[in-house]
Amino acid sequence: MRACVCQIIPPDVLARLAKDRKLTPAQRRAFARAAKLEPEWRGLRGATTRVAQLCRDTLPAAPVAAVATAAQAPLSITVFDCEHGNVLPGRSVIQPYSSGDETARRTFAETTEVARFYREIFGRNSLDGDGMALMSSIHYSVDYNNAFWNGGQMVYGDGDGEIFLDFTRATDVIAHELTHGVTQFTAGLAYEGEAGGLNESISDVFGTMFRQWRTGQSVAAADWLIGADILGPGAKARGYTCLRDLADPGAGHCLAPQPSHFSQLRKAMDPHESSGIANHAFQRAAVALEGNSWDIAGRIWYQGLTATAPSPNLTMKVFANRTRAAASKLFSGRPAIRAAVDAAWKAVGL
């Protein structure tokens, strides 16, 4: 199992905004602080990975029957308030579903819905498949411009109010970050190279699926944008409408544009950037298959992620072939589905 401290805002975007003279000194400092923390969070990820793997390899586990019984218990979903401090998890929010804090209510509600999405659509019991408790910390630090999964819980900043808003406002951001937990407990993808791009792409794919599912949008009605609901007035004034766009990864309206073809992949590319290739393949497959993204394309991608043993260094080509195989297995009597998945990957060079 590979833990991952994975953030929604790419480090290059944070660094770029930290030097943007159109922003106030206070805003630039806020971005600089977030950028400075990025390598530290990745270091924490490495430590969490080593400890988790050591525990799995050396410590005894409960009998299977006991684990199965525990998995049937109601899912524990908790919210903590950092109160603009930086110590995790913060103060426990009692009854977050009825809290006077809108961020607390929203965090509880959407985390609950992400769990329901995975349970009802994919038959998965929480992130680890065994009923893992879901813990979130809100109001992290002051004007913190990011949200992240740290290997064991969610953490949300409030944004600076100009470029980014409260990160809990975007359902796709919440699902994106929680999906890093699903990836952690299944494929165990590394956070570098092609595997890193796949890691980020899986989160974008299931994040956009969840956003569509929450609003009942078909693939034809969906806008395929990631992070549209956290962009503040300052970002919109510059013409940005999202962080990323699965339908048009390199578009100028993306604050973090991406390549859309495998030929554009470069060595040492950040996972937030290289993920555009697999993102676009999913979008093309889902649109070709019509209907709802989670009904066919989503099931195929989920099978590709979960049906085999952990593959930390998985390449994009191998994952593409896994989804081709999953399409054939899940929909053996409908060859057009496998053909649509194959065409989508070929369109991005895979």
- Write the single-letter amino acid at 191: Y
Per DSSP, 164 falls in state B
Q: Is 38 a catalytic residue?
A: no
Check residue 227 and give left, alpha or beta (phi > 0: left; psi -120 to 50: alpha): left
The length of the chain in residues reads 350
> What DSSP character marks residue 264?
G
The one catalytic residue among 139, 176, 180, 272: 272
Radius of gyration of the chain (CA): 19
280 given a catalytic annotation: no
**Cα(31)–Cα(235) distance, integer angstroms:** 14
Unique residue bearing structure tokens 């593959």 = 311
User: Could you say which of 177, 194, 200, 273 is catalytic?
Assistant: 177
| Dist. CA 196–CA 273, nearest whole Å | 10
Closest CA to 295 of 233, 186, 217: 217
* Beta-strand relationship, 147-149 and 154-156: antiparallel
Phi, psi of 132, rounded to the nearest 5 degrees: -50, 135
DSSP-derived pairing of the beta strands 6-7 and 91-92: unpaired
Contacts of 321 (CB under 8 A, 6+ apart): none
Active site residues: 177, 272
